[in-house]
C-alpha cells in the first residue's frame, strides 16, 4: 500500500505510513485548496493538503506590494471564518496572507509542505482510488483528489520575434513588486488586464519618468465602487441574466461612471461587457488607471509586434526604446503534465468540470479555482469548496 502523508505540524513535510486511511488529497495550499480542506473536515472527511512551497498562500506572498482585493472583505471570506473588520473593505495582500495562515490554524488543517505532485493516475488495482506521484519518489493513494494549483500558475511571456535580442530589462509581471526600482526610468507595460492596469498606475505614481501601456484589445473599465456600491455586487446580481440585457445595462453604466478616454488613446470597446466576460475577459476594475490615462501619466499605445535590440516595435509600426518592459501577459494553468493523459482538459488546457462535478469518466477528481468569474474568484472558490465537500461526503456514504 502506498504511503500517505501525515504532518506533525502545518508546515511539516514528514510522511508516515497510514495504511488504514485513504484521505482526500488536495493539491495546492492557496485559498481554493484550504477552503476545500476545511469544508471536508467539517463533514468528517479527512483531507490532506499537499503544497509544493514551504508555506500556505505562496502565490499571494509573491504578488506586488500595492495589491488589494477587488472584491469586498465580506464576499472574499472562505467557509467557516470571517475576515477581520480591521482589514478594511478592500483587503491588502499581506492581510490576505495573514488570513490564510489563520484559516489553516483555525480549522486545524493537515498541510504537508515541500511536496509537489507531478502526476495523477487511477489506482492500478481497479478500486476506483486515485494514485499520486510526488517528489521524493512518493506514491500516494486517496479516495478522491482535488486539484487547486491555481488559475495563475505559470507566467507566460509571448515568443515575440527578436525577444531574446532585447538589450533592456524584460520581466513578467509576476516578478514586479514595487515602483522604486523604476524611478526615473522609461517603462512599457504590455497588457491591460487588471494586473497590467494596476502596475502601470503604480509606476506612474511611483516616479517612473514615462509609462506606456500596450493595448491589444481595448478593455471594459468599471469603477471598483460607485456611490458605495461595489462592482462585485453587480457581478453577482447579473450572472444569470441574459447576456444582451447585461451588455446594454453595462454600456449605460460605463457612459455614466467612466469618462471617454478616446482622445488619450483608450476608446470605449465596441463589444458588450458581459459578452466579453463569457469569452473569459474580465473587466478592468479602476484603481488609478482612469486618472493616470486622463492626465497623461500613462499613455496607451498599440500592442507589441517584435523586438529589435534596444527597440520595441509596435503593431502600428511605432518604435520605442524603453528602459524596461513588464509583460502583464497572463499565465498558463500548466495542468497537462499533471493530468493531460486523463482527458479532463479542454482545448485551452482548462478543466472541463469544476466545483462539485467531476469530469465524465473521472469520478472523485475535482477542480477549483480555474474559472475567473465576474462575481469574484474567492467567493466562487468558497462556494465550490462546499459543493466539492458535499459531493465527496455523499460518495463516501
pLDDT at 22: 86
Same domain, 179 and 314: yes
357 and 263 both lie in a single domain: no
Rounded CA-CA distance 136/16 in Å is 13
CA–CA separation, 305 and 190 (whole Å): 11
Which among 327, 361, 377 is the end of a domain? 327
Among the candidates 294, 310, 327, a domain finishes at 327
Position 151 confidence tier, pLDDT thresholds 50, 70, 90: confident
How is 208-258 classified by DSSP, letter by letter? -SEEEEEESSPPPEEESEETTEEHHHHHHHHTTS-HHHHHHHHHHHHHHHS
Question: Mean of the pLDDT values across residues 79-99?
Answer: 98
Is residue 366's pLDDT more than 80?
yes
The DSSP bridge pattern shows strands 130-134 and 117-122 to be antiparallel
Whether residue 299 is found in the same domain as residue 199: yes
The DSSP call for residue 145 is: E
Q: Are residues 60 and 202 both part of a single domain?
A: no
| Range with the poorest average pLDDT among 179-183, 313-317, 347-351, 364-368 | 347-351
Q: Which of 199, 183, 187 is nearest to 288 (CA)?
A: 199
pLDDT tens digit sequence for 92-126: 999 999 999 999 999 999 999 999 999 999 999 98
**Span 344-360, pLDDT tens digits:** 999 989 999 999 999 99
User: Would you place residue 21 in the very low, low, confident or very high pLDDT band (cuts 50, 70, 90)?
Assistant: low
Backbone angles phi, psi at 34, to 5 degrees: -65, -40
Report the length, in residues, of the chain. 397
Spatial neighbors of 379 by CB under 8 A, at least 6 apart, are 71, 75, 76, 232, 236, 373
Q: What is the pLDDT of residue 1?
A: 37
Q: What is the DSSP letter of 69?
A: -
Q: Are residues 312 and 245 in the same domain?
A: yes
Cell numbers at 340, concatenated: 493531460
- Residue 2 predicted with pLDDT over 50: no
Q: What is the arithmetic mean of pLDDT over 322-329?
A: 98
Q: Which residues contact 142 (CB under 8 A, 6 or more apart)?
A: 4, 22, 23, 24, 25, 48, 129, 130, 132
Structural domains in the chain (count):
2
Question: Is the pLDDT at 241 greater than 80, yes or no?
Answer: yes
Q: What number is the average pLDDT over the span 354-383?
A: 94
pLDDT at 72 over 90: yes
Pick the closest to residue 25 from 150, 97, 133 (CA basis): 133
End-to-end alpha carbon distance in the chain: 23
- The answer to whether 142 and 154 have CB atoms below 8 angstroms apart is no
In this predicted structure, what is the pLDDT of residue 10?
42
Domain of residue 222 covers 156-327
User: Do residues 30 and 166 share a domain?
Assistant: no
In order of 121, 129, 130, 391, the CA distances from 126 in angstroms are 11, 8, 10, 21
Q: Do residue 187 and residue 211 come from a single domain?
A: yes
Residue 15 DSSP SS3: strand
CA-CA-CA-CA dihedral for 69, 72, 73, 79, to nearest 10 = -100
* 321 shares its domain with 350: no
Q: What pLDDT score does 244 carry?
A: 94
Asked if the model's pLDDT at residue 7 lies above 70, the reply is no
Mean pLDDT over the full length of the chain = 92
**Are residues 317 and 298 part of one domain?**
yes
Which DSSP string do the residues of 354-386 spell out, in sequence order?
-TTPPPTT-TTEEE-S----TT-HHHHHHHHHH
Are 107 and 193 within one domain? no
Sign of CA dihedral 349, 353, 354, 358: negative
- The domain that contains 54 carries what CATH number? 3.50.50.60
**Are 253 and 170 within one domain?**
yes
Q: Backbone phi, then psi, for 154, in 5-degree steps?
A: -120, 115
pLDDT of residue 374: 87
Cβ–Cβ < 8 Å for 77, 377: no
Tell me which of 300, 327, 354 is where a domain ends.
Answer: 327
Q: Do 249 and 305 belong together in one domain?
A: yes
Measure the CA–CA gap between 310 and 327, rounded to whole angstroms.
Answer: 16
What's the pLDDT tens digit per position in 185-240?
Answer: 999 999 999 999 999 999 999 999 999 999 999 999 999 998 889 999 999 998 88
Confidence of residue 342 (pLDDT cuts 50, 70, 90): very high
Residue 393 pLDDT > 90, yes or no?
Answer: yes
pLDDT score of 30 more than 80: yes
Report whether 138 contacts 16 (CB < 8 A). Answer: no
Amino acid at each position: 500500500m502506498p504511503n500517505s502523508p501525515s504532518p506533525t505540524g502545518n508546515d511539516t513535510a514528514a510522511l508516515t505510513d497510514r495504511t488504514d486511511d485513504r484521505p482526500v488529497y488536495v493539491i495546492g495550499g492557496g485559498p481554493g485548496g484550504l477552503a476545500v480542506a476545511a469544508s471536508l473536515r467539517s463533514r468528517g472527511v479527512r483531507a490532506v493538503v499537499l503544497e509544493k512551497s514551504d508555506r500556505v498562500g505562496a502565490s499571494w506572498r509573491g504578488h506586488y506590494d500595492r495589491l488589494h482585493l477587488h472584491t469586498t472583505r465580506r464576499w472574499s471570506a472562505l467557509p467557516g471564518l470571517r475576515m477581520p473588520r480591521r482589514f478594511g473593505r478592500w483587503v491588502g495582500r499581506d492581510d490576505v496572507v495573514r488570513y490564510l495562515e489563520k484559516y489553516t490554524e483555525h480549522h486545524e488543517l493537515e498541510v504537508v509542505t515541500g511536496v509537489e505532485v507531478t502526476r495523477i493516475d487511477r489506482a492500478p488495482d481497479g478500486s476506483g482510488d486515485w494514485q499520486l506521484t510526488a517528489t521524493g519518489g512518493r506514491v500516494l493513494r486517496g479516495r478522491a483528489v482535488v486539484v487547486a494549483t491555481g488559475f495563475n500558475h505559470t507566467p507566460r511571456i509571448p515568443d515575440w520575434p527578436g525577444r531574446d535580442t532585447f538589450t533592456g530589462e524584460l520581466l513578467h509581471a509576476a516578478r514586479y513588486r514595487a515602483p522604486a526600482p523604476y524611478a526615473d526610468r522609461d517603462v512599457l507595460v504590455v497588457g491591460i488586464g487588471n494586473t497590467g492596469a494596476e502596475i502601470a498606475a503604480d509606476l506612474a505614481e511611483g516616479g517612473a519618468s514615462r509609462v506606456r501601456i500596450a493595448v491589444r484589445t481595448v478593455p471594459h473599465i468599471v469603477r471598483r465602487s460607485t456611490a458605495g456600491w461595489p462592482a462585485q455586487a453587480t457581478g453577482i446580481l447579473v450572472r444569470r441574466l441574459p447576456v444582451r440585457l447585461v451588455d446594454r445595462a453595462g454600456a449605460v453604466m460605463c457612459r455614466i461612471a467612466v469618462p471617454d478616454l478616446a482622445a488619450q488613446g483608450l476608446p470605449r470597446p465596441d463589444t458588450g461587457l458581459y459578452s466579453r466576460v463569457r469569452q473569459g475577459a474580465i473587466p478592468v476594475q479602476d484603481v488609478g488607471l482612469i486618472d493616470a490615462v486622463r492626465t497623461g501619466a500613462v499613455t496607451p499605445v498599440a500592442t507589441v509586434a517584435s523586438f529589435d535590440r534596444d527597440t520595441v516595435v509596435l503593431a502600428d509600426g511605432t518604435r520605442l526604446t524603453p528602459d524596461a518592459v513588464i509583460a502583464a501577459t497572463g499565465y498558463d494553468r500548466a495542468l497537462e503534465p499533471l493530468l493531460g493523459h486523463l482527458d479532463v482538459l479542454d482545448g485551452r488546457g482548462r478543466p472541463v468540470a469544476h466545483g462539485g462535478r467531476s469530469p465524465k469518466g473521472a469520478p472523485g477528481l475535482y477542480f477549483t479555482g480555474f474559472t475567473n468569474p465576474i462575481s469574484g474568484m474567492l467567493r466562487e472558490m468558497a462556494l465550490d469548496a462546499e459543493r466539492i465537500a458535499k459531493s465527496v461526503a455523499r460518495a463516501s456514504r
